[in-house]
Structure 1
Amino acid sequence: MVSSFARGRGLATTMCRHSQNIALDLGYKAMQFNFVASSNEGAVRLWCKLGFNIVGRLPKAFNHPIQGYVDALVLFKWLADC
């Protein structure tokens, strides 16, 4: 998560790329985010831009304080060839 004061500066992109590099260094072949609120359009857009695919949807799994129950998404990306 990125503070609202730091949004729009590329911090989330940098953190995501860094986490993928660390995962590769540790020998991981893939990365998965298990619970991304579908209402978080900025995060979903960023993960997809960085090569993640939506591979699952949990209906009404997150109780958003304004929108009520929204779906949670599972995102996945292969980091390296097996």
Structure 2
Amino acid sequence: MSITIRPATDVDKPAVWAMLEPVFRGGDTYAIDADIPQDEALAYWFGPERRVFVAEDGGTVLGTYYMVRNQKGGGSHVCNCGYVTAAAARGKGIAREMLAHSLKVAPEFGFRAMQYNFVVSTNTRAIDTWQRAGFEVIGRLPGAFNHPVQGYVDALVMYRSLV
């Protein structure tokens, strides 16, 4: 597998939606309404100020992520990202590739740190991936996420300096 990560274009939106839909409908990793319509989901993912990328192999889109400043003004040097991997590509290192790419390009966009504001505590694969990449859990929001199967679970705030 030879993964290429590039900026997303409007042509990628159907492939991005194909990845977002099952994740958002599953309701267990993102704090997004599970019944969000396609146009609203894409407006969220490709929202203002977001840089959106896709990971592909041989022209097939296998993952997507966005990067956006976490806060404005005095907090604009910290970015936030969201990542989704196609169901058929999970467990093949796509998320790690996208994470590595985001860590590489974030400083090029002027970011000095990366923060994930709301990592669902049951998303252990993601937490493990982020921690292996140097992220620390700096906060825990008790019962902040209503998981569709496990009920109220914690959400984590994770952070990593880029300098």
Task: Give the structure-1-normalised TM-score.
Answer: 0.92
Q: How many residues align?
A: 80
Identity of aligned residues (%): 50
Considering Cα pairs closer than 8 Å and 6+ residues apart, tell me whether 1 or 2 has the greater RCO.
1
Structure 1 counterpart SS, 2:91: coil
Output aligned runs, 1:17-32, within 5 Å: 17-32=100-115
TM-aligned CA deviation for residue 75 of structure 1? 0.3
Runs of 4 or more consecutive aligned structure 1 residues displaced over 4 Å after TM superposition = none
Unaligned runs of 5+ in 1: none
1:52 equivalenced with 2:135 (yes/no): yes
Q: Which has the larger radius of gyration?
A: 2
Task: Give the structure-2-normalised TM-score.
Answer: 0.48
CA deviation profile, 1:3-58 (whole Å, cap 9, x unmatched):
33211110000111111111111121110000100000000000000000000011
RMSD: 0.9
1:72 equivalenced with 2:155 (yes/no): yes
Structure in which a larger fraction of residues adopt helix: 2
